[in-house]
Copies of this chain bind each other. A is one copy, B any other.
Amino acid sequence: MKFSRKVQQCDLSPVRKFYPYERAAVERGIRVHHMNIGQPDIETPPVFFEAIRNFGGKVVEYAPAPGMEVFVEAARKYYQGLGYDVARDDILTTFGGSEALEVVMACILEEGDEVLVPEPFYPNYTTFVSITGAKIRPIPTSAADGYHYARRELIEPLINEHTRAILITNPGNPTGAVLTREEARLMVDIVKEHDLFLISDEVYREIVYTGEISSMLAFPDGAEHVAVVDSVSKRFSCTGARVGTLTSRNKELIHQAMKICQGRLCAATLDQIGAAALYNELGPEYHKSVLEEYTRRREAIVTALKKLPGVEFSDPEGAFYFMATLPVDDVEKLQYFLLEEFSDQGETVMITPGAGFYADPEMGRRMARIAYVTAPEDLTRSVELLGLGIEAYNRRGN
């Protein structure tokens, strides 16, 4: 049987492909610490559960394709609270930020088209782009620049007749880089001048340590070019709720995207009700307290990791990830070793090998994405395990 060339361009997720090995380790009685996946341990706010428990209907009915009014209106008010004026009709409700990305890519990409993406990048972007027949052209960045990419001389030479969009994650996953307002302004200028879309994945919007708070919605003159991908997953620590949004003032984009949204009928009804309550009942104080918690975690992990010999990274500015170079030949091999051979007092640790974050895996061979989504003391222990694991891995020879 034949499979499409497009799906064959995709790969299994480098974040998720270790899951069977993790399960096997757990079955052997090993406790696995996680610095590999963006699953915060922060409690999902009780208002989410309460809103779902209070659902009074007898039937869990289809929601409207663009989203339930209660949710869309809650999202609109959330943006309004940030100072961004968007209309209800500018918002489509999706199955998490992931589906918003799938939808927008399907709307704008043709076979042979190219999307510019600052590298290293979230690996699932490759799937969302490749499945349309298009491909990612990386914007190379470096640890020395703190993974910042908003420079004309870096981006403009990469734009050609196949370029359709620039896709950014801001705050950045996996780099933790956050655009300054001037950099954000420049990105809008570039897409306007070259008539491109700017797809801005802003699911970590509130988790910024540098004081920057730009969203691409802050630039009304970019309205026709900007599409913002958003989600309640990380914002309210409910990754399994799968409620996101695609927001754009480009009416034609929303019209085209609506076709796909109507095709798959609707996002989940109860989750939308829960997500509406999150936006309606939790404001700036909530986001401030979450940011304080992540600030503590960042401090804990940065402090611990700086003590590990041979580990290199630049301090993250936002989100809860960063890239680190580890003193091993191949971080993927290290990860298999950590799950299959290593343990210390019955414990081991997972990180995410960096290869999957680069178009050319070789560039990330010695790198790892570190996620800091657990309590400070757990992070300290996780880094300790990583240090011991690296020592054991290098000692046994490869």
Chain A interface (Cβ < 8 Å from any Cβ of B): 1-8, 10-13, 15-17, 19, 37, 39-44, 48-49, 52-53, 55, 58-65, 95-96, 98-99, 102, 106-111, 124, 127-128, 131-133, 164, 195, 197, 224-225, 237-242, 250, 252-253, 256, 258-260, 262-271
Contacts and interface: CB of A to CB of B under 8 A. Distances in A.
13 contacts: A1-B108, A1-B224, A3-B252, A5-B110, A10-B260, A39-B62, A48-B60, A62-B239, A96-B264, A106-B131, A242-B269, A270-B270, A271-B271
A22 to B, nearest CB: 10
Contacts of A63: 240
Contact of A98 (B52, B250, B264): B264
B2 A108 contact: yes
A130 to B, nearest CB: 9
Given A106-B7, A266-B240, A59 B44 contact: yes
Contacts of A55: 49
A41 B58 CA distance: 9
Contacts of A1: 108, 195, 197, 224-225, 250, 252-253
B268 A110 contact: no
Nearest to A99: B264
Contacts of A131: 106, 260, 263
B263 A124 contact: yes
Nearest to A113: B4
B127 A260 contact: yes
Contact of A107 (B3, B239, B241): B3
Given A3-B252, A96-B265, A264-B96, A12 B240 contact: no
Nearest to A65: B16
A129 B209 CA distance: 44
Which 8 residue pairs across A and B have the least CB separation, nearest first?
A240-B269, A127-B263, A13-B262, A98-B264, A60-B238, A60-B240, A10-B259, A242-B268
B260 A240 contact: no
Contacts of A109: 4
Contacts of A53: 53
A123 B74 CA distance: 31
A184 to B, nearest CB: 20
A271 B305 CA distance: 39
Contact of A43 (B43, B59, B64, B95): B59
A262 B12 contact: yes
Nearest to A41: B59
Contacts of A265: 96, 98, 124, 239, 242
Contacts of A39: 59, 61-62
A12 B44 contact: no
A393 to B, nearest CB: 26
Given A98-B264, A240-B266, A13 B65 contact: yes
Nearest to A259: B10
Contact of A60 (B11, B99, B239, B269): B239
A241 B41 CA distance: 25
Contacts of A48: 60
Nearest to A131: B106
Q: Of A19, A39, A42, A62, which is in contact with the most chain B CB atoms at under 10 Å from its CB?
A: A62
A25 to B, nearest CB: 15
A16 B262 contact: yes
Contacts of A252: 1, 3
User: Which residue among A60, A61, A64, A270 has the maximum number of chain B CB atoms within 10 Å of its CB?
Assistant: A60
A282 to B, nearest CB: 15
Given A37-B62, A61-B239, A124-B265, 7 more contacts: A1-B250, A16-B262, A17-B262, A48-B60, A98-B264, A99-B264, A242-B265
Nearest to A110: B4
